[in-house]
Structure formats: structure tokens, C-alpha cells
A and B are shown apart, each in its own frame.
Chain A
Amino acid sequence: MADELLVVEGLKKHFPVTRGIIFQRQIDAVRAVDGVSFTLNEGETLGVVGESGCGKSTMARCLLKLIEPTEGKIVFRGRDISKLSRREMRPLRREMMMVFQDPYASLNVRKRVGFIVAEALEVHGIATPAERKRRVQSLLEVVGLNPEHYNRFPHEFSGGQRQRIGIARALAINPTLIVCDEPVSALDVSVQAQILNLLKDLQREFGLTYIFIAHDLNVVRHISDRVMVMYLGKPVELASRTELYTAPKHPYTGALLAAVPIPDPALGRLRQRVVLEGDVPNPINPPAACNFHPRCPRFHEGHCDVDTPELRNVAGHAHTAACHYPLEKWPMTPEEIRYDRSRTAAVGS
């Protein structure tokens, strides 16, 4: 059994909403991350998927302690890092790195590529300048760039190439864990394929562990071993890749999968269209109990809006979902959709 690299328990991040003339007092909170728990094994890729406002990016930053969590435990290699100060975190930062979404914004336009990639090495005082240069050049080669472009500036590269620089930067200090926050969302489809292949190759070669955050379900399926679906700050389903995509249990996962357009016109015509009504609710005032109940096609009044469903085992091995009435069949049949939402008046406000 693989080692547990990261164990997260009850992670919460609430941003305070204040009011007051002279003294600001907190009246409410934006519950960006509202109780996330999972285990990450060494060498695996955990895909985190969800729509805007689900908290996946905030969670990623909490894991790396770029944002201080409000509550919860983060255990990295057996050590609780949730309460560590910035100084105590410094040596640990060598083990965890991040690749960001926007290849145009995440590289300092005034610095040369060599500097950007080597910065982490310099900060942690690793290797002599000559050794650092050699390492950077070998890294550039590993990610598919020309090592002679060491002295170029970011604007001289295309979007895909800049993302490769970002990956080289993350690899520089040999981290164990790399959190990828939507690394291919800003790239064209053909370039996206290059970067995804690269990430997979690097994982095999260097034994990396990934947390891969994306909103594109296709991409997440391709690269993940396990997938966690988030909604309004909470995980609603966590399962192995195959199980999640072939037999999802949570109605939200089902709606997501049904909404993704498939590049196959024949299949598309056969598919059951389950269009989810309404918008994602406000994270300041989430719906009572199950956050998803106002939009859920399987809503049972009196239960789903009263008892908060916990993440529990619903099928197979290690397939958990937070739902009182998980899906039994997939694709969802009309019988599965117990409560016809279109009958209710004000869906979505």
C-alpha cells in the first residue's frame, strides 16, 4: 500500500464579511472552503473538479499554506502543518510546489527564464550558481524547451511554452507534491494535449504526486487516478476515475457529466439531456443542510433540506458521496429523477 503523503481533515476557509462604522465586526462569512477531507497517496494524481465558486482554488492555496486555513488539519508526511508559522513552513516548501493557470500572468515579465526557474533553488540555498545553471538547462530540456533559451524573457515564448517554463520552475527543487491549478485551461486544445502528456511523463519519471484542479471534466478524467467533485466549498463525491465517470453516485456529478458536450454527434443525439436549472448559490448564505438541494433532481423534502449529508461510502471500494439518495443507475433515467424541478416556480434567483 502506498504511503499517505497528505491527509486533510475538515479543512475550512471562511472569509469574513464585516460591517461597522468605526469598529468592524464580522456579521457573516464567505464559506469558500467548508469542510474538505481527503487522503492523498504518494505517486497518485487526485483530480479536483467543480464549477466557479466551489472553492477548489482556495483549497489548493490552503494546502500549500499560501492562505491560512480557518479550521482543519493538514498532515503532510505525518506532520501537522496547519498551524505552522511562515518560518517553520519554509523548509517544507521545498516539497510542495504549484503550477498556475495563467501562463501570461504567472511569470515575472522582467526576469529571464533562467532566473525564474532557478529562483526556488536560490531561495533555499541549494547548489552553487554554476550547478544551478546546469540544472535549469537540464530542466528546460526535460520540459521540451531549448536549453539555450536560458536567457530569454517570457514574452518571447508562446502560451504553451510559458506553461512549460512554469512546470520547469515547479520541478526545480525536486518537490514531492505539485498542485496544478487549472494548468491547461488557458491553452489551445492541441497545446493542451502536449502539456498533459508532459505532466504524465514527468510523473512517471520523477515519481511525483499531483493535485490537479480543473473545471474541464475531460481533462480531469485523462490525468487523474482519483477524482473529487466539489460544490460550494464541500466535496460531494470522491471516487476512482473509472468509477466516477462510469457510475457516478452524486446527482451533481451526474449533472456535470451530462452537461459536458461530447465530440461525437451520434452519441450526442442519443444522450439524455439533463439540464441543471438555476445558478450556483451564494457562498455567504448557502442553502440549508445539503447545499445542492434547491437544484437537485432527486430532492426529498424534509430530509435533504434538514439533515446535512456526510461523505460516506456508497459503492465499490473507497467510493464516497455526500448524498441521502445517491444515484442507482447511470445514465440517469427519468425514473431516477424523482422530483421534477421544472414544476417549481422560482428556480434560480
Chain B
Amino acid sequence: MVQYLVRRLLWAGVLFLAVTIVTYVIFFLVPANPARLAAGQAATPERVALVEERLGLNDPIYEQYWGFLKRLVFDGSLGESFVDRSSVNDEIFRAAPITASLVFGAMILVLVISVPIGILSALRPRSVLDRVAMTYVLLGISLPSFWVALVLSYIFGFRLGWTPIAGYCEVVSVPQAANCGGFGDWAYHMVLPWLALAIVQAGIYVRFVRAEVMDTMTQDYVRTARAKGAPERKVMKDHILRNALLPVITILGMDIGLLLGGAIFIETVFGLNGLGGTAIRSIGQFDLPVLQGVVIFGAVAIILFTLIVDLLYAWVDPRIRLT
């Protein structure tokens, strides 16, 4: 087990380097001059050259990359924004909780929606419920998340006025200047974003849960449990669900990792200034350090969650744990 962990962590390190190098390379392949954007529209060529020098953009790529790595490892710093020299660390730590609220909340909602529907569908295949559920799955997979977000925002926010259209409120440490804060406001503002993200994602999960439950139900050990005289509820809980939901949880973990990299569409529609919004902005402004920061956060999240999920699976499934 320890060997496995060590090997995974080493591999994670390799992945991390690979991701950051690729980001750097792509950035520099794009034909645009960040110094120019940073200096401003009205800047003279001399001024632009000065900015280039200041930002270190005249150095060769590998020197810039090496500098970035050194800074990260020894100072723990992701650098400074090209645009306003603010700390990237600060920006990430500000934006991350917003994205995290969105993602975790939405995923809980996904489980709440998809697991019961998936189980019921599996228990009654080809019934009316099942057909409705499968139509929902189709819609969920096909509809773009931003479209759903816009529609929800229009109907519930604008027309009915039940929820706010946009904006984020802090749960804890509410800043002085904010006009909303605390748990109630936070949840109130997040309801629609959660729904938008969850409705789309849940489609995939309903199908997945249904397939896993249907498959598990035909297993021989379920028949054995019934042959022992176990009531159907016990069979469902101890035998079917315990085995069927295992893969679902692991996929969920990986999805969380992915989405933490920035649910760009949802964040944009609802004006949530999380990592997604930050990423879009930094791309538009050719702000490499900030972009790199978001990418790194996303990569770390994915690697971390994949690792957690693998460990969880190994812990829960004795066949993996004990060999």
C-alpha cells in the first residue's frame, strides 16, 4: 500500500511538471504581446520595451520557466500578475472558495437527484418512470450548461424574481463593503448556480447509477442473499447498493477534481468571480502568471482527487486492499 502511494505521488509530481510546461509553451506560442497589453493602449514603443524588460519577457522561455519553478518551490509563490503586479496567490485564494462552493454544492445535489432516480429506474426497467428518466438523461447530456444556466436565470431570477440573478456572497469573514453575507445569503445566491450545474451533470449519473444497479442486481451473491431469507430492503442496502455505488462515488470524485479547475460557463452566467472567471480574464489579458496559477490549481485538484478516489476504492474494496 505504501509503495503504491509513493509511486502515485512521484507520478503526480511528473504530471505536475508536464502540465506547467505545456501551459508555458502554449502561452508563448500565441502571437500576442502581453507587455503591450500591460503597458496600455497609449503606450509608446519605448515604454512597451521597458515593461517587457520588467516582466522578464525578454529572457528565453526556459529561464522564465525555471524562474517560475524556483519561486514556486522555495517561496511558495505563484508569482505576480502581469497586469497589476498583484500576488497570484491572493487571487487564487480569493477565487477558489467560490468555485469550491459551487462545485461541492452542485455535486451533493447531483447525488441527491441521480441516486434515487437511478435506483428506481433500475428496479423498474422500461416502466413510465424509467422512460422519463432516460429522456432526462438525454436532455442532461445534450443541453449545454450555459443554456440551462441562462434559462434558469431568466425564469427564476428575472421573471419570477425568486432568486438573485447574479453575484456571490461570502459565508464567513464577510468583508465590510459587502451588501450581503452569512449563510442564508450565500445559499440563496448559490441555489440557481447549483441547480444549473447539477441538472446537467445529474443526467450522466442517473444513467450510470441505473446501469450499475441493474448489473449488480443480476449478480449471484444477490440471489444468495435472497436464498437466505433476507428481506428485500436488506438485500438492497447491504448487497446491491454497497457494490453498485462504489464506482459511482469514484467517478464523482474525479468529476469534482475536474470541475474545480473552473466551471467557466456557470460562473460567467451568474457573475461568480471564481477560478473560471479569473481564467477567462487572464487569457484575455495575456496575464500568464494568473493563468498559470489557475491551471496549477486545477491540475493539483484533479491529481489530488484522483488519488483520493483511488485510495478510497482500495480501502472500500477488500479485493484491491488485500492483494
Contacts and interface: CB of A to CB of B under 8 A. Distances in A.
A–B direct contact (CB < 8 Å) = yes
Contacts of B3: 19-21
Contacts of B47: none
Nearest to B3: A21
A27 interface: no
Interface string B1-27: 001001100100000000000000000
A22 interface: yes
Contacts of A19: 3
Q: Is the interface on chain B under 10, 10 to 19, 20 to 34, or 35 or more residues? A: under 10
Nearest to B5: A21
A316 B7 CA distance: 59
Contacts of B6: 21
Interface residues of A, number: 4
Interface string B227-246: 00000000000000000000
Contacts of A22: 7, 10
A85 B10 CA distance: 37
Contacts of A21: 3, 6-7, 10
Give the most central of A19, A20, A21, A22: most B CB within 10 Å.
Answer: A21
Interface in B154-197: none
Interface of chain B, main secondary structure: helix
Nearest to A22: B10
A285 to B, nearest CB: 16
A139 B6 CA distance: 58
A21 B7 CA distance: 6
A56 B7 CA distance: 36
A19 B7 CA distance: 12
Interface in B260-316: none
A43 B7 CA distance: 54
A327 B3 CA distance: 49
Interface in A15-32: 19-22
A20 B3 CA distance: 7
Interface string A15-56: 000011110000000000000000000000000000000000
A21 to B, nearest CB: 5
A21 B9 CA distance: 11
A321 B321 CA distance: 42
Nearest to A19: B3
A20 B2 CA distance: 11
A22 B8 CA distance: 10
A19 B2 CA distance: 12
A19 B6 CA distance: 13
A22 B9 CA distance: 11
A252 to B, nearest CB: 29
A21 B3 CA distance: 6
A19 B3 CA distance: 9
A19 B1 CA distance: 12
A134 B7 CA distance: 58
A20 to B, nearest CB: 8
A101 to B, nearest CB: 22
Contacts of B7: 21-22
A20 B6 CA distance: 10
Interface string A167-196: 000000000000000000000000000000
Nearest to A20: B3
A333 B3 CA distance: 53
A22 B3 CA distance: 10
A20 B10 CA distance: 13
B8 to A, nearest CB: 10
B311 to A, nearest CB: 17
Nearest to B6: A21
Interface in A249-300: none
A32 B6 CA distance: 31
Contacts of A20: 3
A18 to B, nearest CB: 11
A1 to B, nearest CB: 51
Interface in B5-60: 6-7, 10
A33 B6 CA distance: 34
A20 B4 CA distance: 9
Nearest to B2: A21
B214 to A, nearest CB: 22
Nearest to B4: A21
Interface in B84-123: none
B128 to A, nearest CB: 32
A231 B6 CA distance: 39
B4 to A, nearest CB: 9
B212 to A, nearest CB: 24
A22 B6 CA distance: 9
Nearest to B7: A21
A28 to B, nearest CB: 15
A93 B19 CA distance: 48
A22 to B, nearest CB: 7
Contacts of B10: 21-22
A52 B268 CA distance: 61
Interface string A223-255: 000000000000000000000000000000000
Nearest to B9: A21
A21 B1 CA distance: 11
A99 to B, nearest CB: 30
Interface of B: 3, 6-7, 10
Given A19-B3, A21-B3, A21-B10, 5 more contacts: A20-B3, A21-B6, A21-B7, A22-B7, A22-B10
The 4 closest A-B pairs by CB, nearest first: A21-B7, A21-B6, A21-B3, A22-B10
8 contacts: A19-B3, A20-B3, A21-B3, A21-B6, A21-B7, A21-B10, A22-B7, A22-B10
